[in-house]
Structure formats: structure tokens, C-alpha cells
Amino acid sequence: MSKHCVQRTEAALQAIAAAGDEGARIFVKVYTASARAEAAAADARAAAGISLSPIDGRIVSIKDLFDVSGEPTTAGSKVLRTAPPAQQDAVIVQRLRCAGAVIIGKTNMTEFAFSGIGINPHYGTPGNAKDASRIPGGSSSGAGVAVARGMCEIAIGSDTGGSIRIPSALNGVTGFKPTQARVTREGALPLSYSLDTVGPLANDVLDCAKTDAVLAGQKWEPLIVRSVDGLRVGIPRGLLFTHADEQVLKAFESALGQLTASGIKAVDADLDHLLGAPFKLQENGTLIACEAAQIHQELFANGTDDQLDELVKARITRGQTVAASHYVSVQQARAKLQPQLDAAIADFDVLLLPTVPVVAPTIQSLDDAAEFNRTNMLVLRNPSVFNFYDLPAASIPLPRSQGELPVGLMVVGKRGADRDLLALAQAISASL
């Protein structure tokens, strides 16, 4: 970092303050005093030649569903404002502090992380970083906007069906969803025990990789330098390329052409029977809705559910009526399908596809509940498949001309091979 941490922290705090009401929609809490103290401490360490981690002195925001000691964890909800304060920091927050990160604040999110759009009627909706009249993408809405607008260098989000990758794609930043077991969720308010993951959003793959090592509690080792030349890449054309904006497909094909010219071997992979299975299986109820209904049952029992975002409440309510036998059969099917997809993609280094099939629509265009639900299902479609199959996946921004809206490229790897995926995503990003 060329500038001292104190200078960079002041610039980030200034960016939040200068955004006025919009800054308050992006961040639900700003830790001005402690961030300044942490920045000064980081500069003192740097002057003494001490580094605690690869992200020592980096400015980090955390999503509003991670516990911070002494304050209630509101998770984008009005009803949790009066919740008892957290007894201790979430484990990943402890790891960030031990790593010397400057925690600048808590970013806004969809209530309970239950939508890919990013609209929040309680704390306001952060506008997209490229055009504030458009959606930020969710559920880590403030996270994607904060990185893109220079209000932090790294944001920590959660991803249950795309909640890191969608805001990354729609705001033009990089996001990484790990294999679920890689990063502890202790001290994070859950949405789905089966599908929740924790990961970073940042300006490039390298910052995501460094942050991921800290979140995973691993010693940082530089990524192996990979070349795109000779990479075997599967393109899952079919279902996940349907209902796509022309400009998304154009950006994807143009990037693919560029990568092919650099030596990647792209193969159209017919995987629709496997990639479509999560949707077919869950037509009568999703794992997320069932688990969210159990997680939030107390709110409904004590009658405070009338304070929820109506759209979020409707999705939780659906989960309350799903038969236990259906839930169990989806879990059993998932366990059988995972090794089948593993086998089907074994010969590829990665899969490549658009992260989200559309560019960010306007907030106003989603006022109608039916249009909101249709768009929500569409933006979640591509990323959610890889939560179901528990594969690590990154979204990297595709090259765009001045004035064009951001488009993300999703790079999907093998379960547990998270660092391999990050190394490949870095190579692909560099060659674009």
C-alpha cells in the first residue's frame, strides 16, 4: 500500500460521510474512533517492520449479520434492534482483529440475508455503485457498494445462494464464495445451516485470497502462479445461459474469445440434467425456506413477524408449511447428486459462465411483488446452483466500456480446492 493506513482510513471515512444519506444506507454502523485507533496501530507496526498478516492495515467492513461484542446483531432487520447484545465477536471478526485489519463498520444487507436483490425497507436500499437508481444486488448489498465506492478495501459477506457473488457482479468488484467447511460461521446469524458460506469482496482476486486465508485461520502462502494457456474450461451452456441480457452474453462471449486466444481450451459441457436438478427438487419447498422457518420460529411465535419486510416474511412463511419428508428427501438427493456433478466436471480445471444473467435493473422496476420475485429468482439462479453442490466459486468483473453496466464472470472450481480456484481465477482475471 503506497499510502499510510491512517491516510487511507481517513479517505474511506470521508467517502462514507460525503455520501450523506446514501452513506447511511450503505453502512448501518461506522466505527470511526476504533478504526482510527486501529489504523494508527497498523502504521506503528509497519514503521517497526512488523506485519501480523497479509491484510494488516487493510480497511475492512463486515456484513450486519456478524456479531460484534457489546452490540445487537440486527441482520438488516428492525425486529432485532432490541436483541440482547453479542457476548463476543464472531470468530471471523476475532480473526480479522488478530490479523491487524481496520474494521471500519457494518454494511447494510437484505433482511436476514433472504434475497438476491438487496432492497431493505427498514434501513434503506443502497444504490448500485455505478448508478444509484439501480439495485445493489443482495444480500450483501452494502458490501458490494462499499468496495466499489472506495468506502473500504475489503468487505466480508455471506453467500447462501449468491449473496457475495451477485453484488460483486452487479457493482463491478470481485467476490469469492468458499467451500462451506472452509470458514467457520460461528457468531454469524444463520439463514440456512446447509448452504451458508462466509467470504470476501474486494477489488481483485489477490485481496480475496489473502482475506480468505485469514477467515479460514490459515497461514498465508502466495497463490501458485498459473497460466491460462492449456486450461481445460467447461462452459455449461443451456439452462444457466437462458433469460440473459444481450449485453451480458456479449461480454461473456467477448471474454471467452480473448481467453481462447490466450490458449484456454473451452468445451461446451452438457450439464443441464445436474445443474437443473436443484430447482426441480425444490419446487415444493427450498432448503433455505425450511431452515429459515426453523431459525426464525420465535419471531412468529411471539407475534413480532408483523415488523418484517413483507417479501422476506412471505419466503419464510412458505418454509413453515413444507413437509419434513420433503425436506429430508431434498437433503438425501443433494448428497447423491454432489458426487455426480464432481464426476461430470472432473476433466475440467474450472467452469465459466455469467455470474448473473442480467445487469442491475432499476430499484423502481421491482416495486411490483411479482416482478420482484421473478427477478430475484433469476439473479439467484446461476450462483445458487453452486451453493447446492458446495463448490467454491468466484465472480470477477468483465471488461466494460465507459458507461456500460458491470457484468460478472463466474469461475467455479472443485470442492475443497479453494486455493486452486483462486489461483485460476487470478490467471483468468489477469489475462482479461
Residues labelled catalytic: 63, 139, 163
Specify whether the backbone of 404 is left (phi greater than 0), alpha (psi in -120 to 50) or beta: beta
Report the C-alpha gap between 222 and 45 in whole angstroms.
Answer: 22
Give the other-Cβ count within 10 Å of 100's Cβ. 22
CA dist list (Å): 402 to 99, 162, 165: 37, 26, 22
**Which residues fall within 8 angstroms of residue 383, CB to CB, at 6 or more apart?**
116, 159, 161, 162, 165, 166, 177, 355, 356, 393, 395, 410
Q: Please give the single-letter amino acid code of residue 5.
A: C
Neighbours of 9 (CB within 10 A): 26
Residues 6+ apart with CB under 8 A from 26: 16, 19, 107, 108, 126, 142, 145, 146, 149, 151
Reading the block at residue 396, the C-alpha cell is 470477477
Distance between start and end Cα atoms, the chain? 24
Q: Say how far apart CA 384 and CA 116 lie, in whole Å.
A: 10
DSSP H stretches of helix in 282-413: 287-295, 297-301, 310-320, 324-344, 369-388
Which candidate, 80, 90, 81, 4, places its Cα nearest to that of 41? 4
d(CA 359, CA 357): 7
Chain mean position to CA 117: 12
